Structure 1
């Protein structure tokens, strides 16, 4: 899950000398961790999009501090890419810095009494769910059906099957790129402003780790719940190249129902199509482009608004596109 931050006074239209200077400084700060012009197709579940101008792989807290210091001195567009499970990058690419947490940010630690789980922000949610289930740390099984990361789950208050991240979250550890000297700070759940598919976590904040409440149980019971979530997902949600739910559910209704009721199920733009299995999932078929998906989002949003009066809010994060998809 990703959230982009254009630097103050910048746009997403052209990299310019500022981005080149930032890339050079990043290469000096974290040698071997910086790549240029990396295809977005390999960074997200849509498997589409042009190049991310600068990609930085951040392996530990020390490297993150150095990267944050560079970005503080070079105000360029930047985004934490996460698992790329709700991300769509334009065919023209993203003219900024993409951050990928890995290494120590992919660690999972379960307490001896199985009541607390600590996980790095880059841990994939299905991995977290299965590791906890294997040792009988129950209550996190719903995460197996969410193809995002721990950091993204905290930021978006991800949920499913009657549970949300805030139901099990104890604490998050956050670095503010706008104030890197403050370091990584703990944040209590009450300070995160968690709400339906959102939070008060700012665009400059990076969730580097989180602690979750767990319940000691027999691993077999946890595994059975994992299997049930996986079975439900296979029956009700499409596979293939997609970015998960495209729109947030409006209060008291479901985006998928509104899309279906507006006659959009099966609607196609190029190689992008509204899923026949779940209308709030847009699939990218072979030959699709990111622009196809973006235009499909725009058309569906407009049709639903015309038919129902409801203006759906995208959950999908779209980088490098000109303007709002409803325009």
Structure 2
């Protein structure tokens, strides 16, 4: 008897052997053994409480910084979507709540409308709030750690928890708390400072213009591929090693931004990951610097 034969009853959707490529920006990857789309937080908690503890659980957000391998993902993949997880709501005192599925850029816009400054950087982050909490997302000199008050999550055992900024253990593109595993972030509370909405909007417009001229945002990409090593820029290392715009199967590092891995149309996940590993090896051989993946790679080869 398979674990899939004794699943908890849900109000959301359970989809067996569901392709995951359509849920990622790279548009590649194999299926989930089981994809769960919970209707709301209660549905998520009840499902986790009733799920066999031996079954692996993976959370997939909007797939902007995720590479799903061609062999698919073992166990249950949980994707938070819809109104229940996408709420954005100003809470007064320059605070704003956002559900895990809320897009970072939309959170920035809504904060601006409410006269809350400090979240403008989210306008340039291609992801959702759940992922931002997981990896301390940021750009242009600001990060999630600068504005997060607390994050809300459901544990693997189905218990609801609140995690303060200090407890998150933030560092560059990492949360120590999230890295321990076992938490599915469902939302977060942020705090900025009061400012004129027009001034906030003007700063966001600058970020948008800068991003559109320096990043391949209309390609099948996963955002920044490698973390910046201390005192270094990953794109400069990739560029200096000769990989900017060089084809590798159906994959390439963008001619526009050498730290953006792109699917040129027919890439497999193996092409994309293979190119990334080839570049890491070449940069290490030429400079002694070991690039660390920022893109999350999940699943079976």
Scaled by the length of structure 2, the TM-score of the pair is: 0.94
Q: Residue 197 of structure 1 aligns with which residue?
A: 173
Q: CA deviation at 1:260?
A: 0.9
Q: Which runs of 5+ in 1 are unaligned?
A: 1-16, 323-327
Q: Residue 204 of structure 2 aligns with which residue?
A: 226
Query: After superposition, what is the alpha-carbon deviation per residue over 1:167-204, rounded to whole angstroms, capped at 9, x for unaligned?
Result: 01111112221x43xx2111111111100000112221
Q: Report whether the alignment pairs 1:163 with 2:139.
A: no
Q: Residue 209 of structure 1 aligns with which residue?
A: 187
Q: CA deviation at 1:155?
A: 1.3
Q: CA deviation at 1:301?
A: 0.7
**Distance in structure 2 (CA, Å) of the matches to 1:25 and 1:232:** 51
Map residues 1-327 of structure 1 onto 2, 5 A cutoff.
Answer: 20-21=2-3, 23-26=4-7, 28-71=8-51, 73-102=52-81, 103-113=83-93, 115-177=94-156, 179-180=157-158, 183-200=159-176, 201=178, 202-239=180-217, 240-322=219-301
Q: CA deviation at 1:109?
A: 1.1
Contact 2:29–2:68 (Cα < 8 Å) also in 1: yes
> How many residues get paired?
297
Contact 2:115–2:194 (Cα < 8 Å) also in 1: yes
**Distance in structure 2 (CA, Å) of the matches to 1:246 and 1:203:** 22
**Distance in structure 1 (CA, Å) of the matches to 2:30 and 2:88:** 33
**Distance in structure 1 (CA, Å) of the matches to 2:205 and 2:95:** 22
Cα RMSD (Å): 1.5
Contact 1:262–1:308 (Cα < 8 Å) also in 2: no
Q: Which runs of 5+ in 2 are unaligned?
A: none
Q: CA deviation at 1:31?
A: 4.2
SS at match of 1:230: helix
**Distance in structure 1 (CA, Å) of the matches to 2:87 and 2:123:** 17
Contact 1:25–1:70 (Cα < 8 Å) also in 2: no
